[in-house]
Amino acid sequence: MEAGVRLSAGVSKWDIRTKIWDYMEANNLADFPRPVHHRIPNFKGASHAASRLPGLQEFKTAKTIKINPDAPQKTARFLTLEARKTLLVPTPRLRTGLFNKIVPPAGATKEILRICATSQGVKDYSVPIGLDAKVQVDLVVVGSVAVSEKGWRIGKGEGFADMEYAMMMSMGAIREDTPVVTIVHDCQVVDIAEELLDDHDLTVDYILTPTRTIKTGCKRPKPQGIIWHKISYEMLERIPILKNLRYREKQAGKDVILKDEHPDFPNARKPADSDENAKTGNTKLQTESTSAQIGQHHVGNDSLSTKSETHGALTTVYVGNIPPGTRVSELKSALREFHASPLRLSWQGAQGRAFLDYTDKMTAESVVASLKGLSLRGQTLRVEMAKNQRNKGQVEINGQRNKYE
């Protein structure tokens, strides 16, 4: 441990982060991007520290490894691909889902594999992995701002690594004994009081630094799934896949009451009310009257009972692969759960599809992200932006037109 990183008694998590960031900047211990504040530091020597990863028995036996997209884990991602293991990388800030599976081209050279391990490579050589995929992750690699030899970990404060782990646990992708590794600079290994940890905080089993491999022997339980009473509506809207997981767990009869609904929360809302009135983060909001219009959907080519003259050209979302026998009320119920009630709904259940109209593209794209992996009657739906959006009330899907008005 670097002697210069000293922590006084009673420090907070944020104090520890600031101490580490300040020390690394003052001693020029980081590479681009700088400054390291509010980041997982891309420390000098990260490649050397990551080179210890293949030496772990847990790495040797792992078939599928999940590694965060942070810069200091780039070499760990390369080494995983070089070892011909399956590499899963979380989508940035969980905006569009949970995982991307990196798929290098056939016969990829080391140079290509190194590109696949970069942020650009993740974009160019990956395929999304949905919630229904039967993924089994054997090893988890995360970044940290600070970590103790006992395995206590502090991230940059946004909670994404903790959330990703909890989501993997919820979807059955990991087990209680799935090992967690973090790769850090020696100066980031400090004493952390266990009292600072909460029950949603992820702990680590191995710490890799440029000079040491530390087996923590941590016995503190890791998160067993999403702790819904610590999730706010703001977070639910910011991370669309959370809505999907919440819907699934609610259908399974689990307690999914959110922080904002909890009785101890100031001005707590009732779950039934909040499901209808929760507002969408950074997208344009649909009004209560708009949400209510889901009850005024039309079937086939019948016109809506009411028509707004103010919306003009709408943006349409296509929902396909609807199981035979599904009722429109089942889809409407699911849309309400995801706060995705459209202005209009065109139901074509006999053809296994429906069309959802929204006021603008931003809202529609948010809905598509939220509904990824949605299933009805055990069958995953196909949800995407309708192709060839038309201003005259028509939409074309795979060459077939559906006339609205």
The per-residue pLDDT of the chain, averaged, comes to 80
Tokens read off for 328: 């429109």
Question: Tokens 């701002």 appear where?
Answer: 145
Q: Where are the domains of the chain?
A: 13-215, 226-278, 280-403
Domain 13-215 and domain 280-403 have a common topology: no
Looking at residue 290, the DSSP 8-state letter turns out to be H
Query: Which residues are registered as beta bridge partners of 215?
Result: 206
Looking at residue 169, the DSSP 8-state letter turns out to be H
239 Cβ contact list (under 8 Å, min separation 6): 93, 94, 95, 163
Q: Which CATH number fits domain 13-215: 3.40.50.10420, 3.30.420.10, 3.30.70.100, 3.10.290.10?
A: 3.40.50.10420
Q: What angle do CA 364, 370, 375 make, to 5 degrees?
A: 115
What are the pLDDT digits (tens) for 25-40?
999 999 998 899 999 9
pLDDT of 269 reads 56
**SS3 label, residue 403:** strand
pLDDT of 376 reads 84
Angstrom distance (rounded) from CA 142 to CA 162: 10
pLDDT of 13 reads 92
pLDDT of 39 reads 92
For a pLDDT cut of 70, what percent of the chain falls above it?
80
Lowest mean pLDDT among 64-68, 164-168, 377-381: 377-381
SS (H, E, C) 53-111: HHHCHHHHHCCEEEECCCHHHHHHHHHHHHCCCEEEEECHHHCCCCEEEECCCCCCCHH
Q: What angle do CA 335, 339, 340 make, to 5 degrees?
A: 55
Angstrom distance (rounded) from CA 46 to CA 79: 13
The type of residue at 48 is H
pLDDT of 305 reads 32
Rounded to two decimals, the pTM is 0.67
The mean per-residue pLDDT over the stretch 12-18 comes to 93
The type of residue at 144 is S
Length of the chain: 405
- Give the residue with greater pLDDT, 401 vs 301: 401
pLDDT of 288 above 50: no
pLDDT of 402 reads 45
Query: What's the CA dihedral at 362, 363, 369, 374 to 10 degrees?
Result: -160
- Give the residue with greater pLDDT, 123 vs 389: 123
pLDDT of 217 above 70: yes
Query: What's the CA dihedral at 112, 114, 119, 125 to 10 degrees?
Result: 30
Contact 114, 151 (CB under 8 A): no
Question: What is the third-level CATH fold of 280-403?
Answer: Alpha-Beta Plaits (3.30.70)
